[in-house]
Amino acid sequence: MATLSLFLFLSLLISAFNFAESQSFIGVNYGQVADNLPPPGATANLLKSTTIGKIRLYGVDGAIIKALAGTGIGIVIGAANSEIPALASDPNAATGWVNSNVVPYYPASNIMLITIGNEVMMTMDQGLISQLLPAMRNVQNALNSASLGGKVRVSTVHSMAVLSQSDPPSSGSFNPVFQDSLRGLLAFQKDNGSPFTVNPYPFFAYQSDPRPETLAFCLFQPNSGRVDSGNGIKYMNMFDAQVDAVRSALNAMGFKDVDIMVAETGWAYNGDNNEVGPSIENARAYNGNLIAHLRSLVGTPLMPGKSVDTYIFALYDENLKSGPASERAFGLFKTDLSMTYDVGLSKTSQTPSTTPTYPSPKPTAAGWCVPKAGVSDAQLQANLDYACGQGIDCGTIQPGGACFEPNTVSSHAAYAMNLYFQNSAKNPGNCDFAQTATLTSTNPSYNACTYPGGGT
């Protein structure tokens, strides 16, 4: 079938069995630049009520690490940039760091990774950059001495700005200024099995190119896609494009077997009047659709069939952060432990509406969602890809399915769009598809192909 791959269908089928438990590929960042955070025990209980499988700290907080003991939740801890010189110059300092910050808690608390520094390359401090690899080596040696080698790994977090080229994704390459330093870091990471950790933010990509089509591409919403001129691959969202640009850069340097971890990504739900992009609707769409994309296990075009470990920014707002208002508005949860907006992380509710809500009529049990007349095949293909990427069962339009014939983009898209609408609480806002769909009271079913909906 040309319009929906068998691989995608099988991936979606597999993902249906993964919804009830914590998911190791979904993590969250726990920033602490705030004076109103809940007690550690309350945060631990909140995490246990969700499908979040991992948490990333920017430093080491013994209280939250202890509170997570016995939960199985993976924990990333960090050494600050200011700690790098001592860790690099003195192996005893590294040993002391591990003995104070890892040994007392492991294995009851599932510490998995230590990040040495945050976006060190972007400091442009050549002295600090040159000390990063020695610091990582000393911490790794300290872990080995504590019999934790291979159990707790060592990495460092990078900004997407370490790439000098990222568009198209196949041309991804590291900035020549950083290549020698990165080559040493990557050789170390390859030897020790730690991931290349990076912070892709479609949020910032949209702010630099605030066109409607860019917003849809960034929010995993229906769009015409972007074809990679280097390999012909059609990308349907910015997240995959950014991650695959990193993959291409790693491959170009000869590190095809170093995994990627997304240390931060997210979308602000509020901002200053002059900021483009922040809103509750956009934040819910980005994070909700990202989570659905990860759960589908489709992966990216260059890394199919698995989901990259991804840490969403952030668990809570950080009210003491400086900068524009958006810096203080990334939290998935409020500090009273209520949701800022629902993206389906609760173990008791995993099917939120992740498209923007509209001030439209009340949902109704009657009606079908169908494409408007005159919509192009390219847009219908985008609608089809989007709908089937949200976890609905598109097997009916696979070969042998009751609605496979006629084998056309328009027919398959019509079925998938309606099924998505029916499975999304029949909210009229979920029959929009970038204004290419409409509700009808005429049953579009034909022959043995039955469209769910109407009064059923």
The crossing angle, in degrees rounded to 10, of helices 176-192 and 126-145 is 0
Q: Which residues are designated catalytic?
A: 119, 264
* Region for residue 66 given its phi and psi (left: phi exceeds 0; alpha: psi -120 to 50; beta: otherwise): alpha
Q: Which two tokens stand for residue 295?
A: 């759960």
Strand partners, 75: 55, 111
Residues 6+ apart with CB under 8 A from 88: 131, 132, 134, 135, 138
How do beta strands 74-79 and 111-118 pair?
parallel
N residues, the chain: 456
188-208 exposure pattern, b = at least 16 Cβ within 10 A, e = fewer:
bbbebebbbbbbbbbbebbbe
Q: What count of Cα atoms within 13 Å lies in the side-chain half-sphere of residue 420?
A: 31
363-381 exposure pattern, b = at least 16 Cβ within 10 A, e = fewer:
eeeebbbbbeeebeeebbb
